[in-house]
Structure 1
Amino acid sequence: MGISQKTNQLGQPKPDLKPRIGLLIIGIILMGANLRAPLTSVGPLINSIRDSLGISNILAGTITTVPLLTFAFLSPFAPKLAQRFSTEFILFISLILLTIGFGIRSFGGVITLFIGTILIGSCIAIGNVLLPSLIKHNFAQNVGMITGIYIVSMNLCGAIGSGISIPISSLSGLGWSGGLGCWGILSLLTLFFWLPLIQNQHKSIRFVQTKKKVKSINLWHSKLAWNVTLFMGFQSLIFYTMITWLPEILEQKGLNTHEAGWMLSLMQFAMLPTTFIVSILAGRLKKQHSLVLVSVVLLIGGVFGILHGSTILIPIWIIMVGIGVGFAFSLAMMFFSLRTQDTNEAAELSGMAQSLGYLLSAIGPVLFGWLHDVTHNWNTSLLMLVLTSVIIFITGIGAGKNEYVA
């Protein structure tokens, strides 16, 4: 599966990787599960964290912003590490540090909370960038399917994280620190599945790369790379903006807190089947323009529905937004593989797109809230998302061309 060569570049017999494919798929699924839940589990506990530590609303709000900034600053460095060491080894080390980060974040102090959060964000940034290139290397003929499985795992655990944080924290003696620390169990489990993958280093990506000089590329001068980057950034901006503000918007529409929270979960669950299906479709199409169009139509229709539609139909509008975001996110992940010719290019494009992309996503919720404060309503803020959707369409048409970045 995706391993077609019998010899490496030196003409030496290449190890048979089939026995480890099943373990690798499980490892990818578990790795994906660790990439979103540590972030989505924080939002429902923000009030508890603020009251317990006696910190301000502004400082509490930065708990969710800090990981996005670490994504932005560290993503470009992940490909460099993968070139020097094996991708599996770097991901394994990131899992160890991620587990440590969960422990530090759960100590219960302000300083340890932010140190742990920075460490967790740094490790997730590594996983975000390197998993697409790992999939491209090991599953060249099934990139769409494996990417879809990994994205579904990530979004499913992210949705579950939003839902179970408060129930876990309500258990006797656990509190918010227990609600956040429990995710260390998942990262520890993932470690055990990744350990066999790094025991034989000759089976890794570095086995090829260390025997052959890695081609130097500069994606910052590639128009296609910029289209992929902006597409990644603006779709991410819509997702994190909705995650941050959707409950409050719906409460002003007349829903109670419980109903608004369920609508947020509904949006995330609506993404799940879409992310899997779109990944497969995108891998089979030479151009992805039609998928980009469907995504933008759903996003604009859903946002306008929230803005002007009937309150009774709010679940429909939320599902439309969720499916639209799912389309866009899957396409963004697939572009890293579809628009590149080898694993080095895939890692470099992933690093560039996610670096600037998450920087944009960190700005989005702040700008959205500022527009509300200035206008004293959500209309202008939601229209900002419509404009963002138009930009997604323009950049998506450019990113969906059947070309390569280098």
Structure 2
Amino acid sequence: MPPDPSATTSTGVHLAIGVILLALNLRPALVAVSPMLDAIRTDTGMSATTAGLLTTLPLLCFGLLSPLAPRMGRRFGMEPALLGAMVLVCGGTALRLLPSMVALLGGTVIVGAGIAVANVLLPGVIKRDFPSRVGLMTGLYSMSLFGGAALAAGITVPLGDAIGLSWRPTLALWGVLGLVALAVWLPQTRRHSRVSAAEASGAAHPVRGMWRHPVAWLVTAFMGLQSLTYYAATAWLPTIFTDAGMAQGTAGWMLSFSSLLGIAGAFLAPVLAARLGRPGAVAAFGALLIICGFAGMATAPVGGAYLWMAMLGLGQGASISLSMLFIVQRAPDTRHAAQLSSMAQTFGYLLAATGPLALGAVHELTGAWTVPLIVLMVVLVPQGLAGLGAARDRHAAPAQRGDSVTGG
């Protein structure tokens, strides 16, 4: 096992900053669409179902392209593959500047492809380079995901209004954050090489039987269900509030406020899980918080908006952080972490991709948001149960490889 740079050298600090900046770019290009959705629909004339497709396409990319990410990491090296992923994010963001529906959808697919690769490989980097700081780095990584989402949700509309930009260049502005991450991550491609020949060939720890392993499927279920509820809510929350009479700017701020609380939830969940020794209980409590938030939105969306968004943010932050922590902890080594991450995100995001489309379709069918919110509350029950199962201290690997060994 390589030495833990986080504890001994400045290299670990630089690497940690690079991981955080990459993570900051894994949500803004997607989340920024949500507060702009009304403007996009007005300008393009797209239906609510088509608008749901705009937010679903990246999730489909996450699911369909995740199996390729471990191969890219082994073939080109983890760091160059992550650099390429960020190039795709920046390129896709720029493509959406072109005034056509094809460019909008195509750029969204390219952004989704880049994020898909980074989603899978970054947990492996944490597993490999921060073995004694897994909880801390997972918390920082998850905080960065929510931090990027909070920025995108909260300042996209005000920033565009302040500069006087239409929705296309406003969305493209988030490519600047990607360029910063590219510049910071570039030195990592020189500092680190490909994985060892033994590891790449599978001679060290062959990944066998994971697709039949019950722990791997519990991790996958938890990842998928929390992603489904998160992306479905993120796609439609501003619209739910505006339909209830809230101003568009305020509705966007509500999503941002939720994401800000998500930062706290993302950082606190791994810490509490480690301190209490009961990550399953933390996962179940996170699901309960989200249920309470959705229930409040269904009954008094505007009057108690801040309370509902606080519950939602804390619960969602805890859930996403724990889903990443389970991937790292349930894997005995870097290759298993990448493979488990690929499996969880392949099936997890394909499941999550149904969320925005389904929520939009149910809304069109019922003409209100009460039934869609009840559906999300029902989904959170198996999410909590999957979290209890995924939290058990076992490895998603064949028994002879040490299933009972502590998961880190």
Q: Same fold (TM over 0.5)?
A: yes
**Match in the other structure for 1:121:** 112
Structure 1 residues 127 and 390: CA distance shift in structure 2, 3 A = same
Q: Distance in 1 between matches of 2:367 and 2:92?
A: 39
| 2:374 is aligned with 1:370 | no
| 2:87 is aligned with 1:69 | no
**Match in the other structure for 2:346:** 355
Structure 1 residues 379 and 115: CA distance shift in structure 2, 3 A = closer
Query: Are the counterparts in 2 of residues 3 and 138 from structure 1 also a CA contact under 8 Å?
Result: yes
Structure 1 residues 56 and 85: CA distance shift in structure 2, 3 A = same
Please state how far the C-alpha of 1:314 moved relative to its aligned partner: 3.2
* Residue of 17, 33, 36 corresponding to 1:45: 36
Query: Are the counterparts in 1 of residues 267 and 318 from structure 2 also a CA contact under 8 Å?
Result: no
Task: Out of 238-247 and 68-77, give the one that drifted further.
Answer: 238-247
Query: Are the counterparts in 2 of residues 129 and 351 from structure 1 also a CA contact under 8 Å?
Result: yes
Q: What is the DSSP-based 3-state SS (H/G/I as helix, E as strand, rest coil) of the residue aligned with 1:44? A: coil
**Match in the other structure for 1:209:** 199
Query: Are the counterparts in 1 of residues 23 and 145 from structure 2 also a CA contact under 8 Å?
Result: yes
Measured against aligned partners, the alpha-carbon deviations of 1:68-119 in whole angstroms (never above 9, x if no partner) come to 1111100111112112231111101212232222222223332222222111
User: What is the correspondence of 1:306-385 to structure 2 with a 5 Å cutoff?
Assistant: 306-308=297-299, 312-385=303-376
Q: What is the DSSP-based 3-state SS (H/G/I as helix, E as strand, rest coil) of the residue aligned with 2:132? A: coil
Measured against aligned partners, the alpha-carbon deviations of 1:126-165 in whole angstroms (never above 9, x if no partner) come to 1111101101100001011111112112211211112222
| 2:89 is aligned with 1:107 | no
Percentage of pairs with the same residue: 35
Q: What is the DSSP-based 3-state SS (H/G/I as helix, E as strand, rest coil) of the residue aligned with 2:206? A: coil
Long gaps (5+) in structure 2? 398-408
Structure 1 residues 255 and 274: CA distance shift in structure 2, 3 A = same
Q: What is the DSSP-based 3-state SS (H/G/I as helix, E as strand, rest coil) of the residue aligned with 1:42? A: coil
* Residue of 119, 136, 144 corresponding to 1:145: 136
Task: Out of 389-398 and 258-267, give the one that drifted further.
Answer: 258-267
Measured against aligned partners, the alpha-carbon deviations of 1:209-265 in whole angstroms (never above 9, x if no partner) come to 248625132322111111111111111111112112323333454544444333222
Please state how far the C-alpha of 1:51 moved relative to its aligned partner: 4.4
Task: Out of 275-284 and 190-199, give the one that drifted further.
Answer: 275-284
Long gaps (5+) in structure 1? 7-15
Q: What is the DSSP-based 3-state SS (H/G/I as helix, E as strand, rest coil) of the residue aligned with 1:346? A: helix
**Count of matched residue positions in the alignment of Structure 1 and Structure 2:** 395
Structure 1 residues 363 and 164: CA distance shift in structure 2, 3 A = same
Query: Are the counterparts in 2 of residues 236 and 357 from structure 1 also a CA contact under 8 Å?
Result: yes
**Match in the other structure for 2:405:** none
| 2:393 is aligned with 1:405 | no
**Match in the other structure for 1:237:** 228
Please state how far the C-alpha of 1:282 moved relative to its aligned partner: 3.2
Structure 1 residues 366 and 55: CA distance shift in structure 2, 3 A = closer
Structure 1 residues 198 and 257: CA distance shift in structure 2, 3 A = closer
TM-score, structure 1 length as denominator?
Answer: 0.89
**Match in the other structure for 2:293:** 302
Please state how far the C-alpha of 1:205 moved relative to its aligned partner: 4.0
Please state how far the C-alpha of 1:317 moved relative to its aligned partner: 2.1
Query: Are the counterparts in 2 of residues 70 and 118 from structure 1 also a CA contact under 8 Å?
Result: yes
Please state how far the C-alpha of 1:270 moved relative to its aligned partner: 1.3
Structure 1 residues 66 and 290: CA distance shift in structure 2, 3 A = same
What is the CA RMSD across the aligned residues, in angstroms? 2.6
Structure 1 residues 302 and 56: CA distance shift in structure 2, 3 A = closer
Q: Distance in 2 between matches of 1:130 and 1:262?
A: 31
Q: Distance in 2 between matches of 1:62 and 1:93?
A: 25
Q: What is the DSSP-based 3-state SS (H/G/I as helix, E as strand, rest coil) of the residue aligned with 2:23? A: helix
Q: Distance in 2 between matches of 1:86 and 1:397?
A: 34
Structure 1 residues 252 and 112: CA distance shift in structure 2, 3 A = closer
Query: Are the counterparts in 2 of residues 283 and 334 from structure 1 also a CA contact under 8 Å?
Result: no
Structure 1 residues 246 and 315: CA distance shift in structure 2, 3 A = same
Task: Out of 53-62 and 153-162, give the one that drifted further.
Answer: 53-62
